[in-house]
Structure 1
Amino acid sequence: MRRREYVTALGGTVGVFATGGTGRAQPATLERVCPADTVTHVRPGDDVLFEAAAEPGVESPDAEWTVDGGESDAVRPGAPFWSYTYRTGNPAAAGRFDETGVYDVTVSVGASSVDWTVVATERAPAAPSADLSCEPGPDATVTVRDEIEVTATAADDSGTLRTLLWQEGRNATYVDDTDLSGADATVTYAVTGGNAIWFIGDYPMIAWIVCRDGRLTTARTEGPAVEAFRDVDISGTNAPVRAGEDLVVEAEIAAEGSSTYHAFVEASADLIVGHDPTHVDSATVEVFAGQAESIELEFTTATVRNTQTFPVRVETRHAASETDVTVIGTDDADERGHLQVTDLETNAPVTGGDRLEVTATLANTGDAPADREVELVVGDNPTTVDTRRVTVDAGATTTVSLGYETYPVRNDDEFPVRVRTGDDSASRTVLVYGRDGDGNGDGNDGDDGTGQASFAVSITGTNAPVAGGERLSVTATVENAGDAAGTHDVELVVGRTPEVVDAASMSLAPGETTTVSLGYETYPVRNDDTFPVTIRSPQTSDTRTVTVRGSG
């Protein structure tokens, strides 16, 4: 028989899908799956799939394929079905017999084997037909949040359709499969742009249509370009301001995407103000995928006589965030207080996990009472962690205390804290001692005083997306990677303004691993809300991004 080139392998596996692995447990018991019968007929030059069910599962190198008792290029156990074997544990191979004749195909794993008799004849049924399309198509650009649908239409004149195997189309990496039956079928594979790693990498998607007798055909389609989602959230303003002064709007720009394929993302933001929306400022920032950067946008307010409250909105090309601000008119300026921060004290340094307290002295230097929301903002990427409403008479002074539970860091961390009144602000740099830092002794957690427990956490899954008002659950593994037994709290922290919503106390021996599920009832939101969730121990943390579906 003539040697031939089957399906050219286009590189190594993508890897994100081929994560299962089956081990090399032996001995294995094999059972014929496809072709379902001992004898099958196929036209010369057409493709045929061979698959055996293995119990326990095997890896592709463990299966030995022979034709007429010896090696042959007529059966290829590698691409395009190596990844399928790796994921399922079932030995699978593609065959093509270019000349008419009768062939004995055998797959063996250890002492177990199954075989098929293949009759290559022009009188055999034709291969099934297939067509594949993608929506949006290859000329479109979508974000990692958008849905992509790949639709396959298959037909077989013999009416023996069995399976559709979805693969990434460059590296032949198995993605999923769909059961088929009858003479024709139309099926759709739906995936978000962020999970379509092959489209992100500019690779096509392919579908293998398999009949019960093993006859095989393939179709492929290109997909849209997939870009990172530019999210935005207004983190604060300097409002209220007096008419004619500059209004400053602070915003966080986050790039939701793949650090492998998107890396640094250029994000442009526009500031839109007023009931009759007017563009007044723009800024562009580079954000590494999965992270966020702060920007400031501003404009000079009009010199108006009467106090006005109006919306300001920061927009990227994918998202928008809006809040209301107040500009004090010239006729009202003398009738409104001005709350100045005259002193700032903290209880720093504190140990990570302890409460950081900030006490501010506020003086109303205006001619009328000042009613303000006072904020405590922390970090180099400013985050509001506490607020207090205060009312101070004209010429009077008061103090306000704000605080939050610091993160239990391993190493010493130094960062700014700021108190803002809307009229004024003041900041200090504080130090939080880490578990391994100078302010935390030897960090010994061992029961006998000779070792240290260290809880490593890894998120294994969530039930997101959930509808607003439903419970969001996050599951994680917790391993004591230290050399002593210990007990620690494991917490679920949610949101860009971090909030602990659930926790569990865990006691683990050295090397012991357990699973924890934490969760909370989400808030019923009108619009979809995407935010980070973190499982953290005193030593490590792991973060995922989740979506709560809005009702609007």
Structure 2
Amino acid sequence: MRRREYVTAVGGSVGALASTRIGTAQTVSLERVCPVDDATAVRPGGEILFEAAAAPGVEPTATEWRIDGPDGNEIDPGAPFYSYTHVTGQPAAYGRFDEPGTCEVSVAAAGRSVSWTVEVTEAAPGSPSVEVTPDPGPDATITVRDEIEVAASAADDFGTLRRLFWQEGRNATYVDSTDFSGSTATATYETTGGDAVWFIGDYPMMTWVACRDGRLSTARTEGPSVITWRGVSITGTNAPVRAGEDLLVEAEIEIDGDSTYHAFVDVAADLIVGHDPTHVDSETLEVFAGNTETVQLEFTTATVRNTQTFPVRVETRTDASETDVTVIGTDDAGSQGHLDVTGLETNAPVTGGERLEVTAALENTGNGPADRDVELVVGHDPTTVDTRSVIVDAGEATTVSLGYETYPVENDDEFPVRVGTGDDTASQTVLVHGRSGNGESGQATFAISVTGTNAPVTGGEWLSATAAVENVGDAAGTQDIELVVGRTPEVVDATSVTLAPDETATVSLGYETYPVRNDDTFPVTIRSPHASDTRTVTVHGRG
């Protein structure tokens, strides 16, 4: 496949010293290339290519073309031959000859010149013929990733074909050339839609065919319409879901195109579901060429009795992405999988009246999805105080946070807390401090009050929270103050505070947030061994 290369050559002429861009002087030469001989003929209204070989080469601005002869005949070193000279260093131009008679055409560079005598007469040979056709054709629509082949065929009754020049129609710029010979010849130019910017800009492609004696013809063709590539990739779903619930599918849309011509692109994203494909949702979004955006599609699943796994596909005009999802049937809910409790963490000890939080690590060790209600049971006389519903795929793990507000007991109380899934349980003994300190003296108890955060922040930035810490106990003490974040609680920062009774201090804790693509809202808690306070914060996505 040919690719366009734009290079620059230095200028000069025969036996003369030409000044180059790098400040040196070189001796150059000129000789005729087309027409090969110093005399040629053309019919009135015909065109001739003039080309000279320059060593080591000249720039278009270093050449001077002249024509002496009847008015109405003219020389044009312009497109495609101005750009041809710029690329090759070969002085080239074409002349149009309307008036019969004899003309003298010359080109000079750095004090040297070559010339041709042109006789304009009805007795001269006719111009060669040329036809050019693109594949796909002008009525087609392709993407910037598709291939284009432009075919040209030329013929000359006198058997002197010499060269075909390819010219892009956008800026009338030389692209490539193919040497010919004989009476008939063909050539192709291959490129991708993304490189054919003249087709993107609705300009034609042109070919010029020249014979050895300079006789010249041109042809042009419109190309196909070239649109952006609307790429799509499914990035996640909320599957498995229960039958009758909403299934969410998130996908990333990527635009591959030329921002000069395509700019903002409207992309329709369609959600297709099932083995018998059914269109269930659609969303149109605007994406700038070269960028990506995220789209979320959804539909309400059918209330089926048996668990089903089926494909979901997100389609754009040019691309598609597919994945499988599972919907748990009403008869199967809770009957598949085996959900083990693999770990427990709590924020104990807390003071009576404060919230006790329990985080359980769960793992599905069965061979199917586990749809379970996870319960928090507390006390020697077991009482269910909180419940969460979860669905965990076979072999997958998750965490769940449960909790409740403890009773404001006067004396310290120790009791078991238990998390159960129906398949497994795990327990731990916790301590709740009495508000009177159980009649004992000498205890430091730190109360917490969050005073502020710097939320919202953008993903990747520092999130900080401040809190007032007060020793409400009757003795001095030192305690660790922790910052806990997320729906799956995680300690991200901590500091040690020493306070006398009734003394208050301010603490500031923080951490570098994860560079999320989408907005995320979650709790942040500052806690001591006896108390905690929580705020909800938002981290803005970067995408």
**TM-score range normalised by the length of the shorter chain:** 0.5 to 0.7
In structure 2, give the amino acid aligned to 1:48.
I
1:178 is matched with 178
- The answer to whether the Cα contact below 8 Å between 1:43 and 1:123 also exists between their aligned partners in 2 is yes
Q: How many angstroms apart in 2 are the aligned matches of 1:164 and 1:155?
A: 11
1:91 is matched with 91
- Using the size of structure 2 for normalisation, the TM-score is 0.60
- String of CA shifts for 1:240-259, please: whole Å, max 9, x gaps: 12222211111111111100
In structure 1, give the amino acid aligned to 2:121.
T
Q: How many angstroms apart in 2 are the aligned matches of 1:20 and 1:340?
A: 69
| Larger mean Cα displacement after TM superposition, 182-191 or 244-253 | 182-191
1:269 is matched with 269
Change (3 A) 1:168 1:425: farther
1:166 is matched with 166
1:217 is matched with 217
1:537 is matched with none
Offset, 1:34: 1.1
- String of CA shifts for 1:374-429, please: whole Å, max 9, x gaps: 79xxxxxxxxxxxxxxxxx85569xxxxxxxxxxxxxx984499xxxxxx989998
Are residues 1:22 and 2:22 paired?
Answer: no
| Larger mean Cα displacement after TM superposition, 272-281 or 107-116 | 107-116
2:238 is matched with 238
In structure 1, give the amino acid aligned to 2:316.
T
- The answer to whether the Cα contact below 8 Å between 1:363 and 1:396 also exists between their aligned partners in 2 is no
Q: How many angstroms apart in 2 are the aligned matches of 1:261 and 1:19?
A: 22
1:35 is matched with 35
Secondary structure class of the residue paired with 2:199: helix
- String of CA shifts for 1:214-258, please: whole Å, max 9, x gaps: 100111111221111111111111111222221111111111110
Q: How many angstroms apart in 1 are the aligned matches of 2:117 and 2:313?
A: 70
Offset, 1:208: 0.5
In structure 1, give the amino acid aligned to 2:268.
S
Offset, 1:194: 1.3
Change (3 A) 1:339 1:289: farther
- The answer to whether the Cα contact below 8 Å between 1:281 and 1:299 also exists between their aligned partners in 2 is yes
- String of CA shifts for 1:140-184, please: whole Å, max 9, x gaps: 222112222322221111111111111123531111112222111
Offset, 1:311: 0.7
Matched ranges for 1:344-493 at <5 A: 362-363=361-362, 371-372=394-395, 394-395=424-425, 414-415=459-460, 430=512
1:323 is matched with 323
Q: How many angstroms apart in 2 are the aligned matches of 1:111 and 1:415?
A: 66
Offset, 1:370: 5.8
Change (3 A) 1:244 1:71: same
- String of CA shifts for 1:515-538, please: whole Å, max 9, x gaps: xxxxxxxxxxxxxxxxxxxxxxxx
In structure 2, give the amino acid aligned to 1:255.
I
Offset, 1:200: 0.6
Aligned-residue CA RMSD (Å): 3.7
- Give the aligned length: 366
| Structure 2, unaligned runs of 5 or more | 12-19, 21-25, 346-358, 364-371, 375-390, 399-422, 428-456, 463-486, 493-510, 516-543
Q: How many angstroms apart in 2 are the aligned matches of 1:343 and 1:76?
A: 86
In structure 2, give the amino acid aligned to 1:105.
V
Change (3 A) 1:235 1:370: closer
- String of CA shifts for 1:266-299, please: whole Å, max 9, x gaps: 1111111111111111111111111111101111
- The answer to whether the Cα contact below 8 Å between 2:68 and 2:105 also exists between their aligned partners in 1 is yes
Secondary structure class of the residue paired with 1:333: coil
Offset, 1:328: 1.7
- The answer to whether the Cα contact below 8 Å between 1:266 and 1:287 also exists between their aligned partners in 2 is yes
Q: How many angstroms apart in 2 are the aligned matches of 1:60 and 1:154?
A: 28
2:305 is matched with 305
- The answer to whether the Cα contact below 8 Å between 2:305 and 2:332 also exists between their aligned partners in 1 is yes
Q: How many angstroms apart in 2 are the aligned matches of 1:39 and 1:373?
A: 86
Give the structure with higher Rg (CA): 2
Change (3 A) 1:430 1:325: farther
Q: How many angstroms apart in 2 are the aligned matches of 1:227 and 1:92?
A: 36
| Structure 1, unaligned runs of 5 or more | 1-15, 345-359, 376-392, 398-411, 418-423, 434-552
In structure 2, give the amino acid aligned to 1:292.
T
1:249 is matched with 249
- The answer to whether the Cα contact below 8 Å between 1:18 and 1:86 also exists between their aligned partners in 2 is no
- Using the size of structure 1 for normalisation, the TM-score is 0.60
2:103 is matched with 103
- String of CA shifts for 1:42-88, please: whole Å, max 9, x gaps: 22321000111222222111111123499996211123421111122
Q: How many angstroms apart in 1 are the aligned matches of 2:426 and 2:166?
A: 71
Are residues 1:228 and 2:228 paired?
Answer: yes
Change (3 A) 1:425 1:86: farther
- The answer to whether the Cα contact below 8 Å between 2:361 and 2:397 also exists between their aligned partners in 1 is no
2:47 is matched with 47
Q: How many angstroms apart in 2 are the aligned matches of 1:325 and 1:168?
A: 49
Q: How many angstroms apart in 2 are the aligned matches of 1:343 and 1:430?
A: 26
Secondary structure class of the residue paired with 2:158: coil
Secondary structure class of the residue paired with 1:334: coil
Secondary structure class of the residue paired with 1:284: strand
- The answer to whether the Cα contact below 8 Å between 2:198 and 2:205 also exists between their aligned partners in 1 is yes
Identical counterparts, % of pairs: 59
1:453 is matched with none
In structure 2, give the amino acid aligned to 1:91.
P
Matched ranges for 1:270-289 at <5 A: 270-289=270-289
- The answer to whether the Cα contact below 8 Å between 2:71 and 2:99 also exists between their aligned partners in 1 is no
Secondary structure class of the residue paired with 2:209: strand
Q: How many angstroms apart in 2 are the aligned matches of 1:341 and 1:27?
A: 86
Secondary structure class of the residue paired with 1:177: strand
Change (3 A) 1:342 1:277: farther
1:127 is matched with 127
Change (3 A) 1:396 1:93: farther
| Larger mean Cα displacement after TM superposition, 179-188 or 70-79 | 70-79
In structure 2, give the amino acid aligned to 1:36.
V
Offset, 1:342: 11
Offset, 1:117: 2.3
Q: How many angstroms apart in 2 are the aligned matches of 1:126 and 1:178?
A: 22
Secondary structure class of the residue paired with 1:84: helix
